[in-house]
């Protein structure tokens, strides 16, 4: 399993952990104080980004500290690239 | 000439400033991929910058990215990532010689072609921050038509000189006197170095005044509180603007009437005066460049 | 010849005269027993008791009664918790608490509510865990949220009858003359408690600083006080001013403050004799500092500053920029010192401050009020009570009173806080109605109430970034996204009373 991490556990940032797998499902776990208010939106934006990056099988954990969507997407992008070993540019 | 009185530094890997930077209304925002981002985080800074530029509004601010120098392993990735995201202004760190600009210029042309952007769209600000860079500056800024501005970086410059920065800044006097001349000759904008101790607003103001005297029209800022001060000091006064407007109006009337020589306030107006008036109006945002 | 009767001291007096009807003959035998010279050299006033329990018993507190507290000690208050502990030990139940406000020092109420000691709350607001639990339906009754002016009105008018008022005093004598200005727990003005003292059936002064008679100055006089209870400490002065008087360095807050000060100047109201109230919080205090520079530069002297008073306003008083300060609540040490030492820093009771049904309250004479907001909506309605997740986490304070009274009521708030939009379609809870709010100032634009077209024109003329409030909302949502509303149940956990006693909104229970 290839693992990539990005982001920080800081206000308005988020920490994203991506575990790429060969098969199975795409599972996204969101931990956020904003979950009730923005959980659907965050998950949708995360899904869009993962689709764009062509990630089909992975465990993705987002530890969110009130980040805006663009931050979450950027951190996912970095984490995926790192999980892929950095070579495959997205 | 561009209106670049202030360039607000924002570390590219910190989410917070992306949203707030335009609120402080700097003329330019400079997202820094170089010194402000750790070696191991260059990829993250780049991704964050790209996503931000694709998503957020920056109002009237010119959005710059400071890319890592041509000699670094990050340079090409920086440029290839941020042009497609919409960045149109780049500050090239460590511009030591014309070749640095040429390398960036060629890479930009390549990337512009790949992205279907018109050749020459992305503009360059040369960051002059070494002794070598200062001495080569005159040729460096002419190495590409993309160069619209130069900026002076005092931290690395004093390093290269074996001196240290002081509050008075005498150690910078040669570079500071020389670079505005280079900029003036090339018809580009000269932006002065940062003032690091943002709590010392008096020192900052003194430095801006001195930089203005030498011919700089912009200042790099590391804190939002510096923007207002720099704008006040680097903007033409109401009286200057009013006079400049009358000169430009008089010129237009004279041209329309086919008169060659004319006066404003009983003083004969010639080309240097007209050009100066236009420059003031551009700085005041009253005249398109 | 009129009929006569002999009184106790042996004189004949008429049985009846026209002016009095039946005449009551003198029957007392002399001065009160405790006044005779005795072996004890201590004059026994009959008021001082050594414990809260004694005070409670002596006050005749019974199940089902209403008791009151003030919140002048804010987060440092120890009196409410200590009184409640004693009440619980005495086994008294089913009480209503009518507090001027509830703070983080009052979380013990959760337990007393669970035990049935307290069954009903009336307050300006509440915070923290108490707010959370109440929002989830801790109480069977709805909390009545009142403004500072509204509370004074309700007490005076008899909408609420206080059976026993427990009044923390940092300085009190054995007759019950008291103030909040002296002693180790000094907190300044007793503005909110002064109303309770006048109208409560029984008044208990609670002090940790019993001084020789006469205590001076007298904020609440002995004529109103039944019992004086001495305890070891009434409050923690360190916790009293927490957060309220922070000097902001945040560039964002300073940007908002600078816009707000430009609005003030453009409004034309900053001139000799103007009156002003600053809220607490970083932005509001930063506005005061901009205002001060402007007043100095232009040689303007205001008449009075009012409301909750901070050191920042005291500085302006000391520099002669205001003639006086009217203080209903003193926010920090510097301001406490000022009210103690400066004759122009004047204590003011809550009725004088904001009661709309008196023959004149100070808020109605205000020129300018700077207000904060938890949320503001496109109709300029303001919420200062509930968070975007539906939980009670704030207080009405004098917000609705001052907004209604001031000629110019300016709300200062950031467009977003972290990921939460502040300018929204519809506020969670309406505390201050939109028609009383004139301007909303954010870091990204200024919206003027359409009721005020002249003001709008002035602000545009001054080159300020005036936009429609709907644009502000759109900007906010474009940054944060539009949040899902919280899930509410069907129980009404609170009603929001407007200053005149009418109900402006209600709050339902939050379902997790």
Burial C476-496 (b: 16+ CB within 10 A, else e): bbebbbebeebebeeeebbeb
Q: Is C389 helix (H, G, I), strand (E, B) or coil?
A: coil
In this prediction, residue C253 carries a pLDDT of 94
Q: Which two tokens stand for residue C201?
A: 């059936």
* DSSP conformation letters of C285-347: HHHHHHHHHHHHHTT--EEEEEEEE-HHHHHHHHTTSEEEEEEEEE-SHHHHHHHHH-TTEEE
ipTM field: 0.94
Interface A–B counts its CB contacts (< 8 A) at: 43
- Region of C128 on the Ramachandran plot (φ > 0 left; ψ -120 to 50 alpha; else beta): left
Q: What is the pTM of this model?
A: 0.91
Q: Is B54 on the interface with A (CB under 8 A)?
A: yes
Q: Which two tokens stand for residue B10?
A: 């924002």
Give the H/E segment covering residue A28. strand A26-32
Q: What gap in Å lies between CA C200 and CA C203, rounded to an integer?
A: 6
For residue C251, the chain B residues in CB contact (below 8 A) are 20, 24, 223-225
- Give me the residue spans of the domains in chain C: 48-240, 251-486
Q: Is B56 on the interface with A (CB under 8 A)?
A: yes
Domain over C48-240 is classified CATH 3.40.1080.10: yes
CA of C484 vs chain A CAs: smallest distance (Å) = 5
- Give me the residue spans of the domains in chain A: 2-83
**Cα–Cα separations (whole angstroms), residue A88 to A3, B75, C298:** 14, 17, 65
* DSSP conformation letters of C407-459: SEEEEE--SEETTEESEESS-SS-SB-GGG--EEEETTEEEE-TT-HHHHHHH
- The reply to whether B226 and B246 lie within a common domain is no
Q: Are C434 and C381 contacting, i.e. CB atoms less than 8 angstroms apart?
A: yes
- The reply to whether B85 and B125 lie within a common domain is yes
**Residue B43 and residue A82: Cβ atoms within 8 Å?**
yes
Q: Provide the CATH number for the domain around residue B122.
A: 3.20.20.60
Give tens-digit pLDDT for C140-167: 999 999 999 999 999 999 999 999 999 9
CA of B62 vs chain C CAs: smallest distance (Å) = 18
Give tens-digit pLDDT for B67-110: 999 999 999 999 999 999 999 999 999 999 999 999 999 999 99
Is residue B148 situated within a structural domain? yes
- The reply to whether B91 and B40 lie within a common domain is yes
Sheet holding A2-7, edge to edge: A2-7, A14-20, A58-64, A26-32
- The reply to whether B135 and B247 lie within a common domain is no
- The reply to whether B159 and B261 lie within a common domain is no
pLDDT band of residue C276 (cuts 50, 70, 90) is very high
- The reply to whether B47 and B135 lie within a common domain is yes
Q: Which CATH number fits domain C251-486: 3.30.360.10, 3.90.940.20, 3.40.1080.10, 3.40.50.80?
A: 3.40.1080.10
Q: Output the CATH code of domain A2-83.
A: 3.30.230.10
Q: Are C145 and C506 contacting, i.e. CB atoms less than 8 angstroms apart?
A: no
- The reply to whether B100 and B113 lie within a common domain is yes
In this prediction, residue A88 carries a pLDDT of 46
Domain count, chain B: 2
- The reply to whether B76 and B175 lie within a common domain is yes
Contacting residues for A80 by C-beta, under 8 A, at least 6 apart: A4, A18, A20, A50, A53, A55, A58, A90
Is residue B103 situated within a structural domain? yes
Structural domain of B273: 238-283
Beta-strand pair C171-173/C202-207: unpaired
For residue B79, the chain A residues in CB contact (below 8 A) are none
Give the H/E segment covering residue C282. helix C282-297
Q: Which two tokens stand for residue B230?
A: 């720099």
Nearest CB among A7, A70, A86 relative to B51 is that of: A70
- The reply to whether B243 and B150 lie within a common domain is no
Is residue B1 situated within a structural domain? no
- The reply to whether B55 and B177 lie within a common domain is yes
Give the chain B residue whose CA is nearest to the CA of A79. Answer: B44
On the question of pLDDT at C280 being above 80, the answer is: no
Length of chain C: 512
Give tens-digit pLDDT for B1-36: 788 999 999 999 999 999 999 999 999 999 999 999
Give tens-digit pLDDT for C346-402: 999 999 999 999 999 999 999 999 999 999 999 999 999 999 999 999 999 999 999
Give the chain C residue whose CA is nearest to the CA of A66. Answer: C419
Average pLDDT, chain B: 93
Q: Which two tokens stand for residue B250?
A: 């008089």
On the question of pLDDT at B284 being above 90, the answer is: no
On the question of pLDDT at B289 being above 60, the answer is: no
Q: Is B15 on the interface with A (CB under 8 A)?
A: yes
CA of A32 vs chain B CAs: smallest distance (Å) = 17
- The reply to whether B40 and B64 lie within a common domain is yes
Q: Do domains C48-240 and C251-486 have the same CATH topology?
A: yes
Nearest CB among A37, A67, A68 relative to C389 is that of: A37
Is residue B288 situated within a structural domain? no
R_g (Cα) of chain C, nearest Å: 25
- Region of C296 on the Ramachandran plot (φ > 0 left; ψ -120 to 50 alpha; else beta): alpha
Is residue B93 situated within a structural domain? yes
Q: How many CB atoms lie within 10 A of CB C178?
A: 34
- The reply to whether B260 and B147 lie within a common domain is no
**Residue C251 and residue B19: Cβ atoms within 8 Å?**
no
Q: What gap in Å lies between CA C204 and CA C167, rounded to an integer?
A: 6
**Residue to test with chain B: of C255, C417, C478, most B Cβ within 10 A:** C255
On the question of pLDDT at C9 being above 60, the answer is: yes
Q: Is C509 on the interface with A (CB under 8 A)?
A: no
């Amino acid at each position: 399993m290839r693992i990539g991490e990005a982001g920080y556990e800081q206000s308005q940032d988020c920490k994203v952990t991506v575990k790429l797998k060969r098969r199975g499902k795409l599972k996204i776990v969101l931990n956020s104080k904003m979950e009730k208010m923005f959980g659907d939106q965050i998950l949708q934006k995360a899904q869009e980004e993962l689709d764009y990056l062509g990630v089909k099988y992975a465990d993705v954990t987002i530890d969110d500290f009130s980040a805006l969507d663009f931050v979450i997407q950027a951190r996912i992008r970095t984490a995926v690239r790192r999980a892929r070993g950095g070579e495959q540019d997205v | 000439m561009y209106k670049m009185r202030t360039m607000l530094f924002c570390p590219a890997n910190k989410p917070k400033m992306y949203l707030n930077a335009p609120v402080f209304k700097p003329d330019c925002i400079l997202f820094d991929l170089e010194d402000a981002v750790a070696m191991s985080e260059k990829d993250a800074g780049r991704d964050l910058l790209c996503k931000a530029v694709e998503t957020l509004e920056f109002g009237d601010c010119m959005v710059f990215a400071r890319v890592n120098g041509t000699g670094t392993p990050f340079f090409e990735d920086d440029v290839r990532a941020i042009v497609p995201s919409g960045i149109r202004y780049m500050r090239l760190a460590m511009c030591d010689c014309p070749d640095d600009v040429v390398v960036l210029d060629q890479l930009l042309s390549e990337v512009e072609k790949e992205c279907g952007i018109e050749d020459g769209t992305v503009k360059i600000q040369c960051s002059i921050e070494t002794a070598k860079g200062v001495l080569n500056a005159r040729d460096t800024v002419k190495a590409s038509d993309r160069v619209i501005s130069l900026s002076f970086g005092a931290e690395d410059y004093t390093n290269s000189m074996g001196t240290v920065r002081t509050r008075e800044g005498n150690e910078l006097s040669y570079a500071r006197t020389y670079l505005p001349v280079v900029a003036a000759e090339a018809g580009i904008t000269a932006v002065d170095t940062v003032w690091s101790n943002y709590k010392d607003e008096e020192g900052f103001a003194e430095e801006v005044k001195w930089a203005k005297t030498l011919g700089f029209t912009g200042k790099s800022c590391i804190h939002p509180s510096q923007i207002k001060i720099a704008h006040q000091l680097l903007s033409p006064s109401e009286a200057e603007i009013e006079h400049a407007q009358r000169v430009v109006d008089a010129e237009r009337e004279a041209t329309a009437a086919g008169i060659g020589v004319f006066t404003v306030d009983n003083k004969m107006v010639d080309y240097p005066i007209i050009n100066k008036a236009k420059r003031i109006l551009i700085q005041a945002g009253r005249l398109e460049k | 010849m009129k009929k006569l009767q002999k009184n106790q001291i042996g004189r004949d007096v008429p049985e009846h005269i026209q002016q009095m009807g039946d005449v009551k003959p003198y029957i007392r035998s002399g001065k009160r027993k405790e006044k005779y010279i005795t072996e004890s050299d201590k004059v026994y006033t009959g008021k001082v008791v050594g414990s809260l329990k004694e005070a409670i018993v002596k006050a005749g507190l019974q199940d089902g009664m209403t008791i009151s507290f003030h919140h002048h000690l804010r987060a440092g208050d120890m009196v409410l918790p200590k009184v409640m502990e004693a009440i619980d030990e005495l086994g008294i139940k089913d009480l209503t608490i009518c507090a001027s406000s509830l703070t983080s020092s009052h979380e013990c109420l959760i337990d007393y509510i669970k035990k049935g000691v307290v069954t009903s709350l009336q307050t300006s607001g509440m915070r923290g865990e108490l707010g959370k639990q109440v929002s989830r339906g801790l109480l069977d009754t709805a909390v009545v949220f009142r403004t500072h002016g509204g509370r004074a009105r309700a007490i005076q008018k008899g909408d609420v009858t206080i059976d026993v008022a427990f009044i923390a005093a940092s300085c009190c004598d054995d007759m019950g003359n008291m103030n909040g200005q002296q002693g180790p727990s000094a907190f300044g003005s007793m503005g909110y408690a002064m109303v309770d003292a006048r109208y409560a059936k029984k008044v208990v002064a609670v002090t940790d600083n019993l001084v020789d008679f006469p205590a001076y100055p007298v904020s609440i006089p002995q004529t109103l006080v039944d019992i004086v209870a001495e305890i070891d400490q009434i409050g923690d002065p360190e916790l009293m001013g927490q957060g309220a008087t922070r000097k902001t360095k945040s560039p964002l807050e300073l940007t908002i403050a600078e816009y707000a000060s430009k609005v003030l100047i453009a409004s034309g109201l900053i001139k000799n004799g103007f009156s002003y109230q600053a809220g607490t919080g970083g932005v509001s205090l930063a506005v005061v500092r901009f205002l001060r520079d402007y007043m100095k530069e232009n040689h303007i002297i205001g008449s009075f500053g009012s409301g909750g008073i901070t050191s920042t306003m005291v500085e302006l008083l000391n520099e002669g920029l205001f003639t006086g300060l009217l203080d209903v609540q003193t926010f920090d040490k510097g301001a406490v010192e000022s009210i103690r030492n400066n004759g122009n820093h004047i204590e003011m009771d809550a009725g004088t401050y904001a009661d709309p049904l008196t023959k004149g309250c100070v808020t109605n004479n205000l020129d300018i009020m700077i207000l904060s907001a938890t949320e503001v909506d496109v109709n300029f309605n303001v919420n200062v009570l509930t968070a975007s997740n539906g939980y009670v986490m704030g207080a009405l304070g004098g917000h609705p009173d001052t907004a209604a009274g001031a000629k110019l009521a300016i709300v200062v708030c950031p467009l977003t806080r972290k990921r939460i939009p502040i300018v929204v379609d519809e506020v969670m809870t309406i505390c201050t109605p939109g028609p009383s709010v004139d301007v909303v100032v954010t870091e990204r634009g200024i919206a003027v109430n359409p009721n005020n077209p002249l003001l709008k024109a002035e602000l545009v003329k001054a080159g300020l970034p005036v936009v429609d409030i709907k644009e502000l909302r759109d900007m906010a949502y474009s940054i944060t996204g539009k949040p899902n509303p919280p899930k509410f149940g069907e129980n009404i956990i609170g009603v929001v009373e407007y200053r005149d006693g009418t109900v402006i909104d209600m709050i339902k229970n939050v379902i997790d």
